[in-house]
Structure formats: structure tokens, C-alpha cells
Amino acid sequence: MSIRKTPERTRAILVSLDIGPKQDSERAEEAARLVDSAGAQVMELIRGRRDRPDAKTFAGSGKVEEIAVAARLHLAEAVIFDCELSAAQVRNLEARLAEGGPAVQVFDRTDLILNIFAQRAQTSEGKLQVELARLEHLSTRLVRGWTHLERQRGSLGKTGGPGEKQIELDRRMIGERVKKLKERIEKVGKVRNTQRARRGKSGVLRVAIVGYTNAGKSTLFNKLSKADVRAADQLFATLDTTTRRVYLGEGAAITVSDTVGFIRDLPHTLVDAFRATLEETVQADLLLHVVDVASARREEQVANVNQVLEEIGAADVPQLIVHNQIDRIPGMAAEVLRESSGKILNIKVSALTGAGIEGLREVLAEAARNASSLATAA
């Protein structure tokens, strides 16, 4: 069973456990938004703290019993953990939760994010990348524990009881499908590289918008490019990269790319699968790093984005920090904040209201003219 995006949404119990002494209420809130974005309904949030994860169930026997009671009370169909679980832990949890009640499926954070990505991918490339990520995640579960996969094996077209030969067969079938997907993605990537190379030779400044998910990247992209990319108050509203040419005045034109948002603990399978799409970021001349200035965790979010940029090889691309959503902070005005030397520290805007957008366009126009003059001189 997958999380279903329908009016009759999956009833879920969300489990958010802090490991170590620090408690993080915003992490639980973000997890609840992820569940909502996946199409499920949080019937109850169960929180707690542990010094270290329990090897068998991650949560420990007492907490698992609390989860089981909540699941039976709310007739939940799924229990979602905001953490990474091993296949053995998933198997043990589902066995414990089934005692004295109906079967409940257990999802971890990676399962949850993969569900969202599967629902949101629109282009053929995006769908290929999501399928690749899901299969690679499935292959790790196949290695670590078999009985957990019996209900999932229908997609592989095989029936029969578990056993070493069956595991090897399904592992090989997954491997063959992964190989084909990578070949198809590589072909699409070659077309994208050709298009990117043409843009690079034109001398036009290539700008990529990056940032934590739901920071307002797509809204800013629409404001700059006058496009109509989907911009929703949901996590991972944008998966497929969109590029537009933007005219900023005489002698100033840029290409702007809207990219997938980042999030903490973004599964490595997704980073690897979307590497071709994220090449727009690696090959950019300038990154607009959009930060939700109204978030209490903005510094941590910036660090998470920079970590992913480092993983994909884009850490050396120049960044322009754009503090977005100033409309949510009373008294904060739009401005271009500069050092005494003239270097820009950050730009404060509201992509929603348009405040500060003209100042951002002027900064980009100046950068575009400099890029154009350098290209002409070369």
C-alpha cells in the first residue's frame, strides 16, 4: 500500500522521536507537513526522546505499545516514523502493531519523501528519476529483510514464498530495471547538456534558484520570469526543473532555472537519481539561494541546502542570498543590503507581494551586463 492522494486520505499516526538531549518541535511540525503533502492525514502525533535508537524497533517497547493503542483508537492504516528505519525495524514494528489489531503499514522518512516525489513528478524525466530512486531504495530493503517485501513484490511480477533463490531473482530484476532507467535518464541528460552548452556559449548569465523546500522559490521564479510554474504552500511542490529566459533591460538578459527544493536528511537515493536535473545548479553562473527569513530555523535550513550543494558539486558556484517572505515579519522592509565595499550581503524581498523584486532585477541586470562584457572581451 502506498500513501494515497485522494479525498479519502490515508489515516496515519506520526511518530517523531528526538535522539539525544535536544528536543526539536519544528522537526515534528515539518514532518506533519510532509505527511500532509503526501496525502495522508495525521490522526495523532506521538513524540518522545531517546538517548539512542532501539535496535529492534527504534522506538522501544513502551513507545511501540503507545503507538499501537493510538493506531487502534484512530483505525489508522499507516504509522509514519520521521527517521530512517532498517528493514528489520520495519518488519518488527509491523509485527508488534498487528498484535491485537488489524495490520498497519510502517513508513519511514525516506518512504514518505519518495511517495511525495512519485506523486509530484510531471515530466517523463522526473518520473524516470523517481522510479530509479524507489527501486534503489527497494533494493536496500531486499538485502536487509525479506518478509517485509512480500506485499510489495507484485510490482515485480513474481509470486511464491520467500527464499534465497527468490531474493536473488528479484534482486537481479531490480538491477536490470535500474540499469535501463539509468540509460534512459542518460539519454535525456545528453539532450539537456546540449541545450545547456548552447546557453553557455551565448554569454547569457545562467541563474539557478535553490533553497529549502517551501521557501518560495517557485513564487520568486514566476515573479522574475512571468511564468506560471506551480507554486503551492506544500513541501516539494516543484520537482521538475524549468528554465526561462528573462529580459532585464538593454544589454541584460539571463536564464533562470527553478529547481527542486532541498530538505534535511534528503535521501541519498534521491540526490543521486536527480543528479542530472540538479546539473542546472552545478552549471549555473550564479545561485539565488532563497531563504525563508520568517523561519526560526533559517540558519539550519541554509546549512542543509549548502550541504546538498556540496554533495552535487555546486559548492563553488557564487551565491546571492535572497531573504524571502518579509511580508510575514512586521516592519521588515525590502532592501539590498551591502557591505561598505559594495559587496551584496543579501536582498530582502517578498515574492508573494512583489516587494523588493525590482531591486533584485537591478542586481541581476548588473551581473548580466558584467557577464556579457566578459564574454565579449573573451
Q: Kindly report the CATH number that applies to the domain delimited by 202-377.
A: 3.40.50.300
pLDDT of res. 53 = 94
Specify the length of the chain in residues.
378
Q: Which whole number is the average pLDDT over 233-253? A: 73
| Range list for CATH 3.40.50.11060 in the chain | 10-114
234 or 33, which is more confident: 33
Q: Which whole number is the average pLDDT over 314-343? A: 92
Is a pLDDT exceeding 70 seen at residue 98? Answer: yes
The answer to whether the Cα torsion of 17, 19, 136, 102 is positive or negative is negative
CB 135 within 8 A of CB 123: no
Q: Which whole number is the average pLDDT over 261-268? A: 78
149 Rama class: left (phi>0) / alpha (psi -120 to 50) / beta: alpha
236 Rama class: left (phi>0) / alpha (psi -120 to 50) / beta: left
| Range list for CATH 3.40.50.300 in the chain | 202-377
pLDDT of res. 281 = 84
- Look at domain 10-114 and name its CATH class: alpha beta
pLDDT of res. 189 = 65
pLDDT of res. 60 = 94
- Per the structure block, which three cell numbers stand in for 156? 515485480
- Per mean pLDDT, which range of 12-21, 176-185, 285-294 is the poorest? 176-185
Is a pLDDT exceeding 50 seen at residue 179? Answer: yes
Q: Which whole number is the average pLDDT over 260-269? A: 78
140 or 292, which is more confident: 292
pLDDT of res. 156 = 31
Q: Which of 351, 260, 364 is nearest to 305 (CA)?
A: 260
Q: Which whole number is the average pLDDT over 136-160? A: 51
Tell me the Cα Rg of the chain.
23
